[in-house]
């Protein structure tokens, strides 16, 4: 499977000539989901869900469909009738030839005064790739490639390191990094790489790797 990093939390997965995109939000490229056969959205925050990017993808491919949780599905079902599927924790489905399992229910705590919203993660092809969205969800099965949210208003680096330790992936690629300046990246690279216990990697937006 080919993994391509797009800006912030968005990734593209390609296999057997088919493409799946996760979280093409407002911090990602305008065409981040164009060419996808399936788009998965983890939650409703604008840096993960942007209707204009979904519209670009669905207009470019009349067969493209969306899988997401109820809060997002309610916002876009009318705009894309018959092409939006609602999923939740424990569900399994096939999208663009990828087997997908849904894990998690709630967004990580930003602050106790801010109500928590729903959030799901997607485990792809039995653990080849796991994208947790905005939560440090443990899927309860081995993960080969973890898409690791490294910098957000809701996390700190100690939690990120402990998350890698708990999941024990073969490798972890940075996502949720649009707020991380280039000056700080070497600090994150060193600390996560030295303490996480897994290979820690970073792709520049537009770069790809085989996983």
Question: CATH number, domain at 82?
Answer: 3.60.15.10
**CB neighbour class for 93 (10 Å; exposed up to 12, middle 13-18, buried from 19):** middle
User: For residue 74, what are the domain limits?
Assistant: 2-210
| Res 189: pLDDT | 94
- Whether the Cβ atoms of residue 129 and residue 13 lie closer than 8 Å to each other: yes
- Whether the Cβ atoms of residue 3 and residue 13 lie closer than 8 Å to each other: yes
Instruction: Provide the token pair at 138.
Output: 């443990």
- Distance, in Å, from the CA atom of 130 to the CA atom of 60, rounded to the nearest integer, reads 26
| Res 142: pLDDT | 97
pTM over 0.85: yes
Q: pLDDT below 50 — which residues of the chain?
A: none
* DSSP summary character for residue 107: P
- Whether the Cβ atoms of residue 155 and residue 162 lie closer than 8 Å to each other: no
Q: In sequence order, what are the beta bridge partners of 209? A: 3
Domain total in the chain: 1
pLDDT one-digit tens code per residue, 86-140: 999 999 999 999 999 999 999 999 999 999 999 999 999 999 999 999 999 999 9
């Amino acid at each position: 499977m080919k993994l391509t990093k797009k800006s912030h939390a968005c990734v593209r997965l390609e296999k057997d000539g088919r493409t799946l995109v996760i979280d093409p939000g407002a911090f990602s490229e305008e065409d981040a989901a164009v060419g996808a056969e399936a788009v998965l959205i983890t939650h409703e925050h604008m840096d993960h869900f942007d209707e204009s990017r979904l519209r670009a993808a669905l207009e470019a491919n009349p067969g493209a469909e969306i899988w997401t949780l109820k809060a997002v599905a309610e916002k876009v079902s009318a705009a894309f009738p018959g092409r939006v599927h609602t999923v939740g924790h424990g569900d399994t489905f096939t999208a663009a030839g990828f087997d997908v399992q849904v894990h998690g229910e709630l967004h990580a705590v930003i602050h106790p005064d801010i109500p928590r919203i729903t959030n799901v993660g997607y485990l792809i092809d039995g653990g080849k790739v796991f994208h947790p969205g905005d939560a440090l969800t443990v899927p309860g099965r081995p993960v080969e490639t973890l898409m690791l949210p490294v910098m957000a208003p809701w996390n700190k680096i100690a939690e990120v390191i402990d998350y890698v330790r708990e999941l024990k992936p073969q490798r972890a690629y940075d996502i949720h990094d649009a707020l991380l300046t280039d000056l700080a990246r070497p600090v994150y690279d060193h600390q996560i790489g030295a303490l996480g216990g897994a290979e820690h990697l970073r792709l520049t937006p537009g770069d790809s790797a085989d996983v």
